A and B are shown apart, each in its own frame.
Chain A
Amino acid sequence: MSATPGEPAASRPDLERASTPVANVNRPHVIRIISIWGVLSVVLAPIVYFVWGPHMPPGNMSNVARGQQFDNQVLATVATPVVLFIWTYLGYSITCFRSRGSSDDGPPIKGHRGFQASWLLGTTAIVMALFVFGTYQLITPAGAGTGSGANPIWVPPGYSATAKTNKILQVQVIGQQWRWTFRYPAYSGVETTQLEIPVGVEIQFNVTSLDVIHEFWAQQLAVKADANPGVNNIAFARANRTGSVDVKCAELCGTLHGAMVTTGAVVTQADFTSWITTQVKVHAADIPLLPPYAVTYLPTPDGGYYDPGQDPVPDTSAPTGSPSSGEPTGDTGSPASAAPSPSASS
């Protein structure tokens, strides 16, 4: 771009430089603004981090929740001085830079190289720091609760992409219009409408859908993963303590999206074992009617209900040491008589 007529490229007299006497005019304002901002930041940023931080969503019920809470804590603390600076500046300028009825113009300052450069460097530094922090958090447990696809980057110890050697307790989350069902492949592939997991155990959620896109949101566990038809979306979490969990759908999925909620619970390992054993017993008659466990369930051209190319996960992994009821006894050959959705259990 050629030099603009009237603005000599070599020297830019309009660019104000921090030298006398201009600096003397600026200095009181600078000192006041920095002081007000500094005091506010020094007081409020620690309050945000230390007082408000431990109460920030999503709480600390799981390792993932704690990690995400830490993210919120850090981001809020970083944001505090930024917001305070702009607010302080806006308030100060409205108070002190008013025309008060005079009709004269302000000083013709068109730029300030030092200030512009430091502003750009400052925002760049903050952005870079946030990026590094976010990426680090992503590969630590904080990001593991978000849907990470069929082959997650960060995996807890014991995970294996091969189903047979995967030592992590699997819970399959199946979304359909408009309810959630949960399938425990390690326990005869039993299917329940309530989510229950043992405390202190790493859980692998395999999230999939039968129809449209849903999003599995176990709020207190801080697990959020899209349920796409034909896709296995994996998320991990390990609960720190027992308590109830709200399960809802976070992606608009049709008429009753708002009612696509269910309850869940984190219970002790003994309670979980007894609960799942009861479930297996209660649903003993239903389990054979379900399609065999698979990571996705879709109508296949030959009339099946899952993709036989997928690797079914057997029941070899039972980290809680509970007795397993053996292989799913579902009849792959006669699915036509079964309910097409695996939600046949009540």
Chain B
Amino acid sequence: MSIETVDILPPVDGGQPGNPDIETFITRSYWRQPNIFTGLVGAVVGYAFGHWLGNAIAGSYQQVVGNGENNHALTLGYIFGTVGWLAGLGVFNYPARKLLGYQPQAVEENDQKFNRYFRYSLDHKVVGIQYLVAMLFYFFVAGLFALVIRSELLSPTRHLLAPDTYLEIVGEHGTMMMMMMTSAILGPFGNYLIPQMIGSRRMAFPRLEALSFWLTPAAFTILLSSLIVGGFPTGWTGYAPLSIQAKEGMDSYLVAFGLMAVSMILAGMNIVVTVINYRAPGMTWTRVPLFVWSILVTALLMVLAAPILVVATYMALMDRTVQTALFDVNHGGSSYLWQNLFWFFGHPEVYILALPGFGITLELLPVFARKPAFAYRTVVAGFVGVGTLSFFVWQHHLFDSGINPDMRPVVMFTTELISIPTGIIYLCMIGTLWRGRIRLTVPMLFSFGMLFNFLIGGISGVFLSDVPADGVAHGSFFVMSHFHYTIMGGYIFAFFAGLYFWLPKMIGRRLNDRLGKIHFWTMFIAFNATFLPLFAIGELGMPRRVFEYAQRLQTLNDWVSISAYCIGLSLLIFVYNFIKSTIIDDKVPLEQNPWDSRGLEWTVPYPAPVDNFPATPIVVSGPYEYGTGAGPMIVVPAAAAQTTNDAVAL
């Protein structure tokens, strides 16, 4: 039987990443190109204009008398400042020139110069690195706020911060973590690695991808600036009747969270389209790496959930500026409305913060257990199941609220159902480790840490899903500990696993193993020492977000605070390792594939060519074929004629 060969040569055109239709590349000196500094100038000008406009419109109108700001000026300042920031970065150059009928221009991107990291770059690898550095920065800033919180809680009475300052710090920590960290894995690893993992030379929408990143500094700065105008007292959930009466800092929260939601939508849309349409020939859905699957589901959640947040923040801003009364009970609004809208976004969001962690962990287990991923299709079904169910559980945040009490069994049911698809990641873990050849490298240690911590987080979630047991835990430190176990213990541990794993790929430097192990063990022990007692503290009656608590809980709280400082010290070890390994130890010879991974991304050399692959690769086997004797994942099209049945059958 003769095998028919078909022409599977991919198209050779495709142009530069992100600039397919640009013909003229302009060459200017660095300081005359749009960059982060022109962006800053634009931001300042835009803010000044918006602030002036707001005062011109409603200068005599202050919701809270006497603090010298008004909502309109601040909100418009933020909005125009963001527009100015983007304009200064050159975001609008391309669409404006197209609209006006000029030939689009772009700055030549093919150089490997360092300053491209400070520009509106359309290269997914540059955006990935930008995201990585920015996310680490946001994470450490927000982490410092956590240490301030724990310092205040060293004593059961007020001793360090005024009560309203304390709430500002709590709100900054929570919001910064929950809104900026949504992109902590999807941003750096998703943008950098997905094209390489699916055999594409670029993302589908490079402009959306770059814009999604450049919105994050704006959102971060606006959120941080809230401290200047009095902060916001609502915590990261921003519950509405309180947010309507809050001071001007609340506008910062609303604008920043809304901007971040836009960023999520853009990033998510880009990734969904990329994964669906930009897979290389042969990269069938059953060969897509689990990490890409998890990011795809995450991106879908972002696209579907974040618009609700945009709507909610917009409504709250309208309540605060033009005096609509959507959340004001006294004038026909509802105090339940924000809770519903927020959690309709918020519960998918916590899976936005969980699924990428699952993905990294399950991506790394086969590499370091030297075995195929166990129950691949079941895991994919699990990801999709988690994502789907996450839209049907939001009212478990409102179990005690008195709304829809008859619906509580249903919500309890959907919530508990999520443990079935979530349990599948442990199924995959068990099967993948079974009789494996486990290599306990630093990324593998972090993966184990993630599995250990997320187990506790998930099991504590069952207590919260059960309405009567939730009667004890609701609103207490138990809840706080639960989601720190899932998000910090799961997501951040997985983030570090991915960082240690993929940094040699992304920046060509492998972090020091010895320091990495010290980082893991100190962080793992300090993390559990911090958050395990918090379950007890919550069950013993300490509500969240309080600056005073019962005297009898001081010993436990002091223990927790000291452990939290230890997490901070552990992260300092990481920072030291990061700086030492990437900047100081510049002489370490580069290993192209230090982990001996089969992953497609590791076939791309470092430094990666602009187009990743010399030609679109043809995928002939899956990414987890450890021990099966399968050859490399891809063949290059030049060898297409003599390739295996797989490629021919395409």
Write the residues of chain A forming the contact surface with B, with a CB cutoff of 8 angstroms. Answer: 1, 4-7, 14, 25-26, 29, 56-58, 64, 67-68, 71-72, 75, 79, 82-83, 86-87, 89-90, 93-94, 97-99, 102-112, 115-116, 119-120, 123-124, 126-127, 130-131, 133-135, 137-138, 142-143, 145-153, 207, 211-213, 215, 217, 219, 222-226, 228-234, 246, 248-259, 261, 298-299
Contacts and interface: CB of A to CB of B under 8 A. Distances in A.
Contacts of B426: 86
A16 to B, nearest CB: 9
A215 B543 CA distance: 10
A226 B239 contact: no
A153 B410 CA distance: 14
Interface in B472-506: 472, 474-476
B627 A99 contact: no
A147 B402 contact: yes
B164 A255 contact: yes
A85 to B, nearest CB: 9
B276 interface: no
Contact of A71 (B246, B372, B409, B469): B469
Given A135-B409, A213-B335, A230-B329, A252 B237 contact: yes
A4 B438 contact: no
A138 B440 contact: no
Given A98-B438, A106-B437, A254 B476 contact: no
Contacts of A25: 435
B620 interface: yes
B49 interface: no
A174 B621 CA distance: 66
20 contacts: A6-B621, A75-B466, A83-B455, A83-B459, A97-B435, A106-B435, A109-B435, A123-B420, A131-B412, A142-B468, A153-B406, A211-B241, A229-B241, A230-B335, A233-B401, A252-B242, A252-B544, A254-B233, A257-B545, A258-B547
Nearest to A100: B437
B545 to A, nearest CB: 5
B539 A299 contact: no
Nearest to A145: B471
Contacts of A258: 163, 166, 543, 545-549
B72 interface: no
B350 interface: no
Given A225-B400, A257-B546, A109 B626 contact: no
Contact of A97 (B433, B455, B469, B474): B433
A147 B336 CA distance: 14
B439 interface: yes
A160 to B, nearest CB: 17
Given A26-B435, A106-B370, A255-B167, A147 B416 contact: no
B433 to A, nearest CB: 4
A213 B239 contact: yes
A156 to B, nearest CB: 15
B29 interface: no
Given A6-B620, A138-B467, A149 B405 contact: yes
A217 B475 CA distance: 9
Contact of A119 (B335, B423, B433): B423
B92 interface: no
A143 B329 contact: no
Given A1-B286, A75-B462, A86-B451, 9 more contacts: A5-B284, A5-B650, A105-B627, A120-B378, A146-B399, A224-B474, A230-B335, A249-B543, A259-B547
A263 to B, nearest CB: 12
Interface string B326-341: 0001100001100100
B625 interface: yes
A167 B163 CA distance: 42
A102 B437 contact: yes
A154 B644 CA distance: 67
Interface string B368-384: 01111111101000000
Contacts of B401: 147, 213, 226, 228, 233
B448 interface: yes
Given A57-B540, A97-B436, A299-B330, A5 B649 contact: yes
Contact of B468 (A1, A68, A98): A68
A116 B471 contact: no
Contacts of B388: none
A91 B40 CA distance: 52
Given A224-B475, A255-B167, A152 B405 contact: yes
B546 A106 contact: no
B374 A109 contact: yes
B543 A153 contact: no
B404 interface: yes
B369 to A, nearest CB: 6
Contacts of B431: 109, 111-112, 115-116
